[in-house]
Each structure stands twice: as structure tokens, then as C-alpha cells.
Structure 1
């Protein structure tokens, strides 16, 4: 069997640039100047031939589709959403390097870098000041060296493409990674190695079991652990009526490293209330489970290559961490509040296992041992307009209701569920203090280390966004 594969992070920066004056940006020949600059600074010369095909001005007929394809939140795909003056879609690494050089030298202009990830708040493709977008979707190679147990991933690849290539080119039967196939795998300077692995195990498995059980009134959530071989998630709630009264329905989804009979025996002992039997279980291979979790046909692994371009819903997301079990009374109170709100949903994803074995300061991602689970609050709608305020208010209200049950001081958040409500940076004289507000929530004690890295690699704060790592002010 091949060795376990260890992805090599492909780090890049998603940050902003210096403030640009309106007059300097309004140069009528920006496209031509930028194209000439790219040709001048792109090496080797063989890469220069494709420059005209990767540079899109707003007048280009393909510009709208290129911009929309990787917008993942329709709230930021409206006529009033600020648009980039240019979009660059590099085919080679040399194009990335020359784009950064030209953005700094031609007319210093803000640069946004997009790789197709969650980006719930659109910070990789919108700005309040003139900007360009460096879109990395063409840099999607996934090179699998099964013999040496190494996989190299370009920043524009998606998780679906990563899973597919590992399944296709190796004999490995289980691989831990994220579970959203269309999400990009690229990290960035302020958070490379987030640890967005919802599966807790890096071991090979023969079978994977999934079981979906409805009408469990949250009672599973007041237990600390369900064992090292069982991953579970709570999805919901949806509205239901029981004996004439309004209630909620939640789904319990499990991933078990073993056989169906073993799982049924385990849950009969630990959680008889679930009433699990073998007919609730499907024995799947690892790649089939990846497809099932993403609601795909699990007989067609090629589906993982579908990027679902220009398919965004309107949405609002927030997150929390829980370190102490929520009591049954607390859960009943939460369910009642969610019945009142009607539209808000959540997913409880457990931590533990391999997540807890890695030190909290080993990577920028700090939320490891001591955390029972992460919560994602989710509200989604289909139409634009005045309804938006109602939906976003629901998310904020539930977030407020959950205050007594979640981690505090600071109230932590998950960087992949980007949330500008928890703080933004205006990059004025109080930039460090502003960055500390959200930085501690995302990175805990690792925030100060990231500030030191930022000072070493980008002291001028060329790359920045509303929640990037700030530069530590110089003393004296």
C-alpha cells in the first residue's frame, strides 16, 4: 500500500494594497500599460505569448463571466457591487509574479487574489477602492507521488480535484481533508494550514459507514465523545410537528471506520435513543463517502471535477466553538428560539481525534484539544432585495442567543467561515489594535506570531484585506 499522502501547502497572499488616488487610477490606457508591463516582467519569454489571453478589461466580452464564475455568495454579485478594473487569470507561476510587480510599479493599485474558496464575504473580489483581481483558477495541477507519499497542489485546485486525483492515481483508501468539493485548497499568508479537516483520521480504511437518523431532539449533543472511530455531525434543524406541537427535526450524520454490525452494536450501547439498525447504514469506500457527503451520485467520482461555476446562492454564515457540553435544558431553549427564527440552520462538527493530537501552535489554526465541536450558523435565500435584512438579522440573533453556550474571552471563530461582524481593519493608526480584535478570535495565541511573520515578509503591508494580519507599529 502507498504511504499516507501529505499535501504540501501552496501558500499565497490574499491582502490589499496602498490607497490609490482616483486621478492616478483613471488613466485611459491602464489595460495597455499593464499588458506591456506583464510582457516585460514575465520570464521565461515563452510564457509571454499567452499574456493577451489572460488579461480582461471591463470592456472584454468575457469579463462578466470570468468575474461571476467564482463568486460564492450572490450578495456580492449585483450591479452595485464594486468591480475590478482588470482581471488577470495566470496560466503560469511567472504570470503571478509579474502581476504583483506591475500592480506595485505601474500605478500602485490594490490587488485581490482569488482561488475559489469559501470567501463568504467576497474580500477576494470586491473593494471600496480601485482594484484588480488575480484569479488563480487556471493553476489547478495536482501532482500525486504515491510511491513517496507526497502530493503537490497548486493554489487554484479544488478539494474535489484533490480527492479525485488521489483516488485515481494511488491505492490509498482514506484521506483526511475538507468536505466541500468546489472549495479551493489554497491557503494565504495570514492563515496557511487552517486545519479545515472535518474528518479526524488519517488512516486507511476498508469500509466507511454513513447513517442519517432524523427526529433526534438534540440529545446526542450532551455527550462529550462518541469514540475515536466515529465521526458525527448534526445538521438542521428543519421544522416539524409532533403530537400537534411545533418542534424541530435534526439529522445526525456519521462516518464510522468499520463495519455496519460493529456500528450498530456501538450505538445500541452508547445511544439507544437513535434506534439505529443495519438498514440505516451504507457501506461505502472512501471516495464514495466523499461524493455522498457532497450530495453527489456516489457512483461517479468524475463529478468531483465539476466546479459549479456561477451558481452562488444568497447567504450569511457565522461560527462558534463549544468546549463544554450543552445541557438538555439549554438545547430545548435553543430549539425554541430556532422555531421562532424559522429560517436559520446550523451544522455542529465535532473535533477530537487527530485534531486534538496536534499542538495548537503547530500551525496557525489553533482550535484543537479542548474543543468539543464547531458550529456554523447558516441562512440561505434565493432572491435579492429587501428580504436580505430579515435573513441576516436571523443569523445575528441566533449568534446572540448562543452566547451562554459557546467559548468566550475571546469568543472564537473559524477563519474559513469568514465573518466581518467580528471586526475589520481600516489600516489607520490603530491598525494593530483593530487587527487584534478579530485576529485573536481566529488565531488565539498564534496571532502574535503571525504579526511577526507579517513584519518580516510584508513590512509595507502591500497585501492586505479587511481581516488580514496587521503590521506591528514601529517603536519610536
Structure 2
């Protein structure tokens, strides 16, 4: 990772490669000619065919869910590991010319693995952006340019180092997530109630489109720039880097982690109360709930000291029983390993990009707009006590995330949302994966009466193919109408505008996967 402080807000990639673009017209050339085409523009050591001794290690390097690393998985024919923008442009040009589609991977956290595998046989290559991971901080303007291949941990660390802990960036809790996918799907963490989503704080971006052009915010136009900030960048091209707004944080913040056992329904009572309190708390206070078995754990970040937090909790949420002994005062950057790795982890640990192939997972999501009755929680906790049960993570909304109008970005889950639910089941290699997957699906079905409806909303960054997949028509373009099945769950009324933006930048649907935005030509 390269970290630099600069007074310039223009990304190096854009200045260097803005002049290179080509309009590519697909031909009947064979996909087998794709690597030969690349050889004129990309060093051979950056391209890995399936026959390469290093292919598997490169493929595995950013696989976060080994459910999608089996002999039956449809894998890429090639992996391209660009080190500059011209390499990405060449991959697009050669892909169009030789009938090879591209899938783009930054951190590999896509819950369905669609950045590096396909549900159906097709000739495709992966553009792995892990070598494009520079972070350039502009202290004067409190902004940064960050490449899509950087992880959130690398971004957080660079910002804290450059600003002396004065600045942060509002994004997810998991430091190994790649910046590119996270920002393009929305992105939220402990600062969302104070500063909104990660995508709300994007100021500019650099995109390689389906014609091989390198475009900044002005070049891609307002509709496409709107679309990539929450609508999934993979549908519109390859986003190489992002200019983001950094936000101030106090020198001392307070975290706590409080478990509540099941005894006499205590966990049910506190969770039932939490869902009304947490979205209405002051914006400086974030409290999420993790439910497992018949217990609940409440994790919190407060942008202030313990002395200031204790009386707020006593007035607003006395049911939790929080007191001074629960406080853990630290810097904001220290909260990242605290929440992700637990007590004892160091700030340097968030720079670890290591992946594991021993843990499998199935996840999906919901949104809650009306508090779930106390009597219903007994049934929910019963589901959490079943064999093969996983956990539910409840993240509160409200405050600034709800203050942004729904049409302002593709992310529509704003005013009126109390909290997001993530359903998670994790198992080890050799475990009964079918039982864990079925548990998630069963709990999701059980929750239907208690969550949003018409549509039943879902979070795009918790992608789930159970919600539906694209249908490709006779014109070899994904169907807009069929895409509504899943698209309106993720994007509600913003789905149509995303499809129009897709038609503007990629009318031939070159950048496509099982849940990419289909193009819609206005009037059709």
C-alpha cells in the first residue's frame, strides 16, 4: 500500500492516462486470442491463465467465502492484475474484441462470490485490483483519493496516520473489505448515524467504461456518477479510485460491549426496547445488537468520553444497565480492531489482508420500519436456539443516514428505517453446509411479517442470489423487467434510474453478472 500526503486533489491515474481510450466493436474473434491481445499492453507476469502455476494462489488470494471455491465452481479463464489504469483499459479493449467478459474484484467480500465466479458457463476474466491500493491524503481539504484495491483497514490506517488521529472515514467495521465494492454498494459502520454512508461521502471517482475510456466525475456525467455511489460500480465499468470526504473525530471516543443473557426473558426485553431507542439516540451514539442462541450482545461507539456517555445511557436506555465499568476509552482508529478482532488487537492488525479457506458462510438481509412486538421476539429467539443456528446483527439507522432524501443516491433505505438486519450462518470446512443455509432461508421466511414489504427491502452489499437473478434475452442483454424481482428489493424506486444510467454508459450490457443492473433505454 502506498500512502502519500498531497496538496493536489487530482488522481495520478487520471492525469497519466486520460488520453487513452478506444471504441471497441465486438468481433467473432476467439476468446483464446484474449491473452495474445493483452500481451501488447500488459506485462505477461500480470496475466494468469488457468494453466499458470500461480493461477490458483492468485484466485484464492481474495476469496473470502470458500463455498465458491469448489471443483464445480465456474472459474475465470484468466486473471489480470493491473498496476495502472492503462492495463485495465487494455483488458476492456481485448475483452470486447475477443468475446471475454470481465468481472472486477477489489477485496473479494461479495457474499455470492460474483467478483470471481459465475453461476453459468461463460468465458470471462477477473480484473483483480489488489495491486491498485494507494491512499493519497490531502490534509488541507480533509479529503483523500483511495484506489479500489485498498482495504478499509488500509484506508483507515492511512487517514489516522496522516491526520494524527484527527480524521476518519465513515465506512464498515470489517477492515479486510475492499474499498471498491464497499463504496459502490453504499457502505456503513459505526459512524453512519453521524456522517451517513461511505457512498454519501464520495466526491469524485475515476472509471474505465465499456468503451475503454477513462472518465472522472465530469466525464462520466451526473447520472453515472450518481449510479456508482450505491448502485454497484461493477454494472457501469471498472472504478479505479475514489475521492472521499474525511470526517472529524474527537481524540477520545468510548466503546463498550455488554452481553445480556436470556434469563427470564431479559434479552427479549432489552432487544424489544433497543429497537425503539437506538434509532432515536443522539447522532454521536451508535449501539448495535448481536443476537445468538438466546442471548444478546450490545456493542457501541460514542464520539465522546465515558463521563459524557454514562448520563446519556442512564436517561435514554436504562434497561441496558450500562455503567462506567463498561467504558473503554480509546482513539477512533483503535475502535476498528476492537470491534472486529476484540480486546488486545492492535491498530497494525487492521492492515492484515490474509484470507482463510476454512470458514464457510451464508448471509442475507432485511430492513425494519416498525418495531417488532415483544411477543414476536420469543419466536425469533427460538429460531436462534436451533441446531445449526447462526446469528442476527441489528444495525440502527436514523439521524444522518435517514436525513438524506431517498433519490439522492441509489441507496434508498433512509427515512423511516429503524434498523437493518443481517442474518449470518458460519460453519467450518466439512460441516453440514446445507443445514446452515436452510436455517438462514427458514429464518428469513419466518421474519416476513415483521420486516419491510412491497418491496421487502434488502441491502445490496449483503448480496443474496436467493432474491433473484438476471435473465438474458435473445438480444444478449439482461432483462430490465426480470431484474425488478431483485432490483427493487435493493434499490426500490431507484432501480429504474439505475437502469437508465446503465443504458447511457454500457448499452450493450458488457459489464454483467447475475445481479448487475440491466440497461433500460428511456421510452422502451
With the shorter chain as reference, the TM-score category is 0.7 to 0.9
Aligned to 1:221: 274
Correspondence for 2:85: 93
Q: Does the Cα contact within 8 Å between 2:388 and 2:436 map onto a contact in 1? A: no
| Aligned twin of 1:426 | 471
CA distance in 2, matches of 1:315, 1:235: 17
Question: What is the CA distance between 1:311 and its match in structure 2?
Answer: 4.3
After superposition, what is the alpha-carbon deviation per residue over 1:316-350, rounded to whole angstroms, capped at 9, x for unaligned?
00000001111211212211232235522110001
Tell me how far apart the structure 2 counterparts of residues 35 and 174 of structure 1 sit (CA, whole Å).
Answer: 41
Q: SS state of the match for residue 38, structure 1?
A: helix
Aligned with 1:192: secondary structure? helix
Deviation at 1:426, TM superposition (A): 2.0
Cα displacement (A) at 1:261 = 2.5
Match of 2:38 in 1: 38
* Residue 118 of structure 1, CA deviation: 2.1
- Does 1:466 pair with 2:514? yes
Question: Which residue matches 1:108?
Answer: 99
Q: CA deviation at 1:20?
A: 11
Q: Distance in 1 between matches of 2:50 and 2:313?
A: 58
Give CA deviations for 1:249-275 in whole Å, capped at 9, x if unaligned.
Answer: 110111112221322222222232222
Instruction: Tell me if 1:123 matches 2:171.
Output: no
Matched, 1:170 2:218: no
How far apart are 1:19 and its partner, in Å? 12
Question: Residue in 2 aligned with 1:244?
Answer: none
Deviation at 1:55, TM superposition (A): 0.7
1-structure distance, mates of 2:101, 2:398: 40
Taking the aligned partners of 1:260 and 1:198, their CA distance within structure 2 comes to: 17
Structure-1 separation of matches of 2:396 and 2:515 = 26
* Equivalent-residue separation in structure 1 for 2:472 and 2:46 (angstroms): 31
Structure-2 residue corresponding to 1:453 = 501
Q: Does 2:72 match 1:80?
A: yes
Q: Any conservation in 2 of the 1:322–1:405 contact (CA below 8 Å)? A: yes
Q: Does residue 1:211 correspond to 2:256, yes or no?
A: yes
- What is the root-mean-square deviation in Å for CA atoms of aligned residues? 2.7
Q: Find the partner of 1:402 among 438, 444, 447.
A: 447
273-282 vs 156-165, greater mean Cα deviation: 273-282
Residues 176-195 of structure 1 aligned to structure 2 (within 5 Å): 176-187=170-181, 192=184, 194-195=186-187
Equivalent pair of 2:359/2:427 in contact (CA under 8 Å) = yes
Aligned-partner SS, 2:64 = coil
User: With structure 2 as the length reference, what TM-score do the two structures score?
Assistant: 0.78
Q: Distance in 1 between matches of 2:346 and 2:174?
A: 16
Matching residue within 483, 498, 505 for 1:435: 483
Residues 1:142 and 2:197 are matched in the alignment: no
Higher mean C-alpha deviation, range 71-80 or range 423-432: 423-432
- Aligned-pair CA distance for 1:194: 1.6
**Deviation string for 1:196-219 (max 9, x for gaps)?**
344222442232211211123324
Distance in 1 between the 2:342 and 2:371 partners? Answer: 33
1:380: how far off?
0.4
Tell me the alpha carbon deviations over residues 112-131 of structure 1, each in whole angstroms, 9 at most, x when there is no partner.
11111421111111122222
Distance apart, 1:471 and its partner CA: 1.6
The answer to whether the 8 A contact 1:155-1:187 is kept is yes
8 Å contact 1:103–1:110 — kept in the other structure?
yes
2:126 counterpart residue number: 133
Paired residue secondary structure (1:376): strand
Number of aligned positions between the proteins: 437
Q: What's the CA shift for 1:402?
A: 0.6
1:289 aligns with 2:310: no
Paired with 2:76 and 2:380, the residues of 1 have a C-alpha distance of 42
- State how far apart, in whole Å, the 2-side matches of 1:121 and 1:7 are: 34
SS where residue 170 of structure 2 aligns? coil
Q: Deviations over 1:218-268 (max 9, x none)?
A: 243342423322101001213xxxxxxxxx111011111222132222222
Residue 381 in 1 paired to residue 407 in 2? no
TM-score (normalised: structure 1) = 0.85
- Contact 1:89-1:134 at 8 Å conserved across structures: yes
**Residue 312 of structure 1, CA deviation:** 5.8
Q: How does 1:295-314 map to 2 (within 5 A)?
A: 295=341, 300-311=346-357, 313-314=359-360
SS of structure 2 residue aligned to 1:78: coil
Change (3 A) 1:19 1:95: closer
Residue 363 of structure 2 aligns to a residue in which SS? strand
Q: Distance in 2 between matches of 1:168 and 1:360?
A: 34
| Uncovered stretches (5+) of structure 2, i.e. residues with no partner | 15-24, 196-247, 261-266
Alpha carbons 1:214, 1:252 under 8 Å: kept: yes
Counterpart contact for 2:170–2:188, Cα < 8 Å: no
Is the Cα–Cα contact under 8 Å of residues 185 and 461 in structure 2 kept in the other structure? no
1:195, CA displacement in angstroms?
4.2
For structure 1, which segment, 308-317 or 292-301, has the greater mean C-alpha deviation from structure 2 after superposition? 292-301
CA shift in 2, pair 1:420/1:138, >3 Å: same
Contact persistence 2:275–2:418 (CA under 8 A):
no
